[in-house]
Amino acid sequence: MDTGPRRLVFLDRDGVINRRLPNGAFVTTWAEFDFLPGAVQAIRLLNGQKIPLIVVTNQRGISLGLYSESDLQQLHERMRQELAKLGATVDGIYYCPHSYDECNCRKPKTGMFEQALMRFQGIDPGDVLVVGDSRSDMKAAQRMNFGKVLVGPDRKSIVRDLAQEGIMVDFSADSLLAAVQEYILPEFLCERTCN
């Protein structure tokens, strides 16, 4: 009897799936969206193991009036279309349009994760990973008791800073692809072959 997925991966968007723009600028249109090297392949690898992938992304630019929720939804629809052309898919996208301290969904708060989990009843927090490139991603994962995978060029300093706050990252890598190949798949598949 199929009881649904036993594993789940949350992915931040900017800095994990697509390039961050310089100087903290927001990705507001598809023309500014650029998949990071290996990101699509990483998503395909996880799809191949039937691991649900949920994107959780802070989008404060909406509250600043730089783009609308409709603009963001169109960008995400185009992202899904381009992924599909390349044989990859994400199972859901949750975003926070608010500025700081206006809601319970903006990471490091946990509202987006809680909302997504309503679709996946019965998954143990120990079987959930958050892949992100920021302190807020890792702090949200800590609050939810999820595994923490940090990617990106700033990971060493972020790991150091988080350790000073008592937050230990489970794995860090330069990219989503490296994290998937070196940690996520071996970790998630071990239960089939280990012991």
Beta carbons of 134 and 12 less than 8 angstroms apart: yes
Q: Give the contacts of 167 (CB within 8 A, at least 6 positions apart).
A: 138, 139, 142, 148
Cα–Cα distances in Å, from 44 out to 12, 82, 191?
Answer: 16, 13, 21
Rounded CA separation 176/185 (Å): 12
Question: Is residue 174 flagged as an active site residue?
Answer: no
- From the list 12, 127, 133, 137, the catalytic residue is 12
Looking up tokens 């723009």 gives 21
Question: Is residue 124 flagged as an active site residue?
Answer: no
- How many CA within 13 A on the CB side of residue 15? 23
- From the list 2, 14, 71, 133, the catalytic residue is 14
Rounded CA separation 33/43 (Å): 17
Structure tokens at 96: 């926070």
Residues with catalytic function: 12, 14
